[in-house]
Amino acid sequence: MPTTTRTPAKQNGRNGVQKTAAAASVRTTGAAVARPPQQARSRETRRKLLEAALSCVAELGYAGATMDQVVERAGVSRGAQGHHFPTKSLLMQESLTYMLDGMVEDLQARTEQIRHQELKPAAVFQHLWDAYFSNRLFSVTIELIVAARTDAELRAVLTPVTERFHRQVDDCFYVLNRENHIDSRRINLAVNLTISLMRGMGVQTILFNRPEHFQALLGEWFGYLNTIFIGPEGAGDNGSTGPA
């Protein structure tokens, strides 16, 4: 009478469990590996939408920067746009935040250079004028300001962004008070007066674009700034580069 051996069945059972565990491990590992690229793609899609929105507003104006235009320029689907930014107001809010945060990061680095006497204060403000107040940032800002005047929803989402930006700019220049003992109130006034001056000159460039004229105005203003950031002995030097 033949005997029945159960050992192979047990081995097969153990092998089956091992194979099942191995397969589960592969699936889990595969999911873990796939997750970062998906997150990276999501971040890249978001960045493309923000850049496209800023480009459209700068070139076409706020009214012309429709969602269709933004999606086409970003090269993404409407579904992706709706997932990240379901409304135009939200897209504009995040686009302005994205743009201003980049400006503040740059400004922070340059004010640190002033603090270590690697740059004159006027060099930072000259950079602001060249890179922002006569460039895309100003074009986008002026479009959004005008649109927000009559669009309550847009004004409500952009006002906190603007207030945050001004606080960040003030904080950038407060670092100068750490070692130089400059009156923080005078710094605040000087910075905000300078930004207001540049914003006004930026508006003028739309219909009265005279680069030499505006540079001469800035030169005179830099003399005033030097009396605050450097001292009376630096008031006569309106240069915007070189060590302080």
Give me the DSSP letters along 18-55: HHHHHHHHHHHHHHHHHHHHHHHHHHHHHHHHHHHHHH
Q: How sure is the predictor about 2, in pLDDT bands with cuts at 50, 70 and 90?
A: low
Question: Using an 8 Å Cβ cutoff, are 242 and 224 in contact?
Answer: no
CA distances from 69 to 47, 81, 239, 244 (A): 16, 12, 43, 47
Question: Using an 8 Å Cβ cutoff, are 53 and 65 in contact?
Answer: yes
Rounded to 10°, the helix 136-150/7-64 angle is: 80
Span 115-160, pLDDT tens digits = 777 777 788 888 888 888 878 889 999 999 999 999 999 999 999 9
State how far the Cα of 152 lies from the Cα of 174, in Å rounded to an integer.
Answer: 33
Question: Using an 8 Å Cβ cutoff, are 205 and 80 in contact?
Answer: no
State how far the Cα of 215 lies from the Cα of 198, in Å rounded to an integer.
Answer: 11
**What domains lie within the chain, and their CATH numbers?**
10-80 (1.10.10), 87-234 (1.10.357)
State how far the Cα of 103 lies from the Cα of 44, in Å rounded to an integer.
Answer: 20
Lowest average pLDDT, out of 31-40, 63-72, 78-87, 208-217, goes to: 31-40
Rg over CA atoms, the chain: 28
Q: How sure is the predictor about 26, in pLDDT bands with cuts at 50, 70 and 90?
A: very low
The per-residue pLDDT for 237 is 53
CA distances from 118 to 7, 113, 161, 179, 234 (A): 81, 5, 31, 14, 15
Mean pLDDT to the nearest integer, 87-110: 92
Mean pLDDT to the nearest integer, 163-191: 79
Residue 14 has pLDDT above 80, yes or no: no
CA distances from 138 to 84, 118, 132, 144, 222 (A): 25, 27, 6, 10, 21
Q: How sure is the predictor about 177, in pLDDT bands with cuts at 50, 70 and 90?
A: low
